[in-house]
Copies of this chain bind each other. A is one copy, B any other.
Amino acid sequence: MKAHVYVTLKTSVLDPQGQTIQNALRKIGFTGVDGVRQGKYFVLSLAKGLTLEAAKAEVERVAREVLTNPVIEEYTYRIEE
């Protein structure tokens, strides 16, 4: 079982990295992109024998306590069985 965790800045937080990428895209001629937000993507390989419920609980704790800065970031995840 694997978990895919997506950590992004809260929408209220300015994203200078995303802004820099968007400016670069415009300069080199990409006109189809209006905005860019950058985040982090984690793939967690989960231990064998975990139930789906236990896996969800573990992933949520890991995301909340280790992978995310709750002041400026939020996360979503999905489990791949």
Contact = CB atoms under 8 A, between A and B. Distances in A.
A34 B46 contact: yes
Task: Tell me the number of copies of this protein.
Answer: 2
29 contacts: A6-B41, A7-B41, A18-B42, A21-B42, A24-B66, A25-B62, A25-B66, A28-B66, A30-B58, A30-B66, A31-B47, A32-B50, A32-B54, A32-B55, A32-B58, A33-B45, A33-B47, A33-B58, A33-B62, A34-B45, A34-B46, A35-B44, A35-B45, A36-B42, A36-B43, A37-B43, A38-B40, A39-B43, A40-B41
Q: How many of chain A's residues touch chain B, expressed as a range? A: 20 to 34
A24 B62 CA distance: 11
Contacts of A28: 66
